[in-house]
Amino acid sequence: MFKLEVLQEKPWYLQAALFGGVALVLYLGFWYFVTGSTRTETREIEARVEELQRANAGAQIASQRLNEFKANYAAAQADYDDLKALLPEQRELTMVLQNLQDRAKGKLTLRRFIPKEDEQQDFYTAKPVDVEVSGTYNNVGQFFAQMATYQRIVSITDFKVMKLKDNLAKDKKEGKTVSATFTLKAYYVSPEKLLPAAPANGQPAANGAPAAANPANPTAAAGAAATAGSNAATAGQPK
């Protein structure tokens, strides 16, 4: 009681300072001893939330990339399916060669059609065939044009077009004036080399395989051969 009377005798600003000091001590004690564990737990929760937010952002990026990968895979699979349609399996090669032979016989005289040994490549195999045909200048040119638009991958190399020298009476009657010799290559893939998914580039790209850089036009090499063959035929056309 005496202390309170003494305190009351002090100036008001000293009383205010004393009460403020006591209040500050009480606040600091409450802040340190009572809320200390709560603040620690809050910091841990905030750190965990930040970690989860980073993980969530990473998951969103991964989800977006997964959709891109799925789209790329679907496109690659479609390209591979298109390639398989252009590149027959080994069991279909006989049918392809027969079709080519029939095309040559259509408006031309097929003088030679000799299959050679297979040429093995990394992903595919080439079947070369030595071919000699005779006919009119226009029919030979049409045959090369047909090879340029053939639905299977083929190429024509080592071709020569020249004036028909030993033309028979039948040849003269039918107007056959030129002969052409060339190596026709039909490409196929062995069953053990068929892949379940499309390769990175989606098409062969080695040693004369036609149009490796453009799967939409796999017979561009044959087209070039047809153009060159037409020019050669022009040079060899009898005057």
Structure-block tokens of residue 227: 């153009």
Residues 6+ apart with CB under 8 A from 126: 118, 119, 185, 186, 187, 207, 208, 209
Q: What is the pTM of this model?
A: 0.45
Q: Is the pLDDT of residue 14 over 60?
A: yes
Residue with tokens 């190399």: 157
Structure-block tokens of residue 75: 């496109």
Q: Is the pLDDT of residue 77 over 50?
A: yes
Tell me which amino acid residue 172 is: K
The answer to whether 199 and 207 have CB atoms below 8 angstroms apart is no
**Predicted local distance difference test score (pLDDT) of residue 204:** 44
Taking alpha carbons only, the member of 127, 76, 125 closest to residue 101 is 127
Mean residue pLDDT of the chain comes to: 72
pLDDT tens digits along 143-155: 888 888 877 778 8
Query: What pLDDT band is residue 121 in, cutting at 50, 70 and 90?
Result: confident
Structure-block tokens of residue 193: 């080399």
**Predicted local distance difference test score (pLDDT) of residue 6:** 66
Chain centroid to Cα 187, Å, comes to 19
CATH code of domain 90-236? 3.30.70.60
Query: What pLDDT band is residue 12 in, cutting at 50, 70 and 90?
Result: confident
Strand-pairing partners, residue 48, are none
